[in-house]
Amino acid sequence: MRIIISPAKKMNIDDDGFLEITVPPFLAEADCLRSELKKLSPAELKKLWQCNEKIAQENIQRLENMDLQSNLTPSVLAYEGIQYKYMSPAVMERDTLAYLQEHLRILSGFYGILRPTDGVVPYRLEMQAKLAVGDKKNLYEFWQRKLADYLFNETSFILNLASKEYSKVIEPYLSKEVQFLTVSFAELLDGKVIEKGTLCKMARGEMVRWLAENNITAAAEIKNFDRLDYGFNETYSTENNYVFLKGGSKC
């Protein structure tokens, strides 16, 4: 089993060094993207990043000094979003971290795909960014099926905890041989299943932590997740989409 999750926009540098750093599998591609970004003007970068002036200037400075070989942080510690806060990898036991290293893969517009200990530097490049590279109009065309094939070579069972923006780089290349199970965290409002962004991020991080703490590797076991007041709901779930509803309803 491989669990795929999205990255976070906010990143940090962690130099505690308690995890051994490994090399990202698509470092050459990341270096290519770095070169393309450096060709853009500050105005073009701000438009690409869709951010305010302060964030643009911070990331322009990062880009000017970017060295993909030094001052690296393990990817699982580099991202600071809500999902990663609830995952809490910095306080995990050794066995739990070993599970993440084996099963967790972070999708990235810049790095492609990352294992937890792959060394990264702070960057800003979302998968949906319209960055043209040669004859490729955007990052989905740039990555094509490379990331999917990487996962398919590792496993025939993918647990999708990524946002649509990122899972979209994998789904077009699925075959009958690969089980692709998406998990949804939602509330039932007026008979409709509604997902809320922040709550979803919290639940995704909590589920990754729960999976690691319980050494979960089979689809059926995932139904037992019951943290943050979520419960598996048989009625709204399908073979390829497990729905967990707030309130713990299992009806």
Domain boundaries, the chain: 2-246
Long-range contacts, 174-182 (Cβ 8 Å, 24+):
174/148, 177/152, 178/152, 179/219, 179/240, 180/240, 181/157, 181/219, 181/222, 181/240, 181/241, 181/242, 182/240, 182/241, 182/242
- What's the rounded Cα separation, in Å, for the pair 140 and 175? 18
Please report the pLDDT score of residue 248 as a whole number.
63
| 179: phi then psi, degrees, rounded to nearest 5 | -90, 125
- What's the rounded Cα separation, in Å, for the pair 25 and 22? 9
Task: Judge whether 32 and 114 are in contact, CB under 8 Å.
Answer: no
Ramachandran area for residue 224 (φ above 0: left; ψ -120 to 50: alpha; else beta): alpha
Please report the pLDDT score of residue 251 as a whole number.
43
- What's the rounded Cα separation, in Å, for the pair 142 and 109? 10
User: Is 0.85 topped by the overall pTM?
Assistant: yes
Positions in the chain short of pLDDT 70? 248-251
Please report the pLDDT score of residue 28 as a whole number.
98
Tell me: the pLDDT tens digits for 174-191?
999 999 999 999 998 888
